[in-house]
Amino acid sequence: MLHVITGGSGSGKSAYAENWLLEQREKNLYDENSENTNPSAPLYIATMIPYGKEGETKVIRHRRLRAGKGFRTFECYRDLAKADIPVNTGILLECMSNLTANELYDEAGNMNKPEKVKRQILEGIRHVIEKTDLLVIVTNEVQGDQMEYSGETKIYQRVLGEVNQSLAGLAEKVTEVVYGIPVEIK
């Protein structure tokens, strides 16, 4: 199952995603009719490159929020399709907006071709789907503020929007978290 969880910054989407994944794993592990009997720890795929003090602070905050929940962290900033991801019964990928930015710009800061980036990200997601029966992807809403942005930012927003649309099409479940309240879209 693929569940895409979206929302604005600070909406509570990360905590919701973690808790939802853990609840689903718990249900499946103890359901006599479930084929899923692998009790391995859930995998957290971290995509944020911790740039600067703000980035480091955010990573530390997210690690604290996950503490005690049993997640194993797997850092993957680019090239998800080539990542050696272990077979797992539950994977949380956070977050698509970071992965999109990482793929859109190379390490030297040069912009890659948007269509290639989109294909590469979706190929990576298909690779992860092959490794699990339960994938939760956290993403961001980045186009709802009606502000005018630079050309490169508009390209990023467009690519992320198209990736999110593709993911929503693949997903069995899509949820938007608004002020900590999950709203089921699909």
pLDDT tens-digit series, residues 95-147: 999 999 999 999 899 999 999 999 999 999 999 999 998 999 999 988 766 67
**pLDDT at 57 > cutoff 60:** yes
Spatial neighbors of 123 by CB under 8 A, at least 6 apart, are: 80, 81
What's 13's domain CATH number?
3.40.50.300
pLDDT of residue 29: 57
Q: Can you tell me the mean pLDDT for 136-162?
A: 87
Please give the residue range of the domain that contains residue 97: 2-33+42-184
CA 178-183-186 angle, 5° bins: 135
Number of independent structural domains in the chain: 1
pLDDT tens-digit series, residues 18-51: 999 999 988 875 455 555 545 578 999 999 988 8
0.85 exceeded by the pTM?
yes
Assigned token pair, 28: 């499946």
- When computed from its CA atoms, the radius of gyration of the chain, rounded to whole angstroms, is 16
Q: Quick one: pLDDT band at residue 1, thresholds 50, 70, 90?
A: very high
Share of the chain above pLDDT 90, in %: 62
pLDDT of residue 39: 58
Residue 87, beta-bridge partner list: none
The secondary element (H helix, E strand) that includes residue 152 is helix 151-170
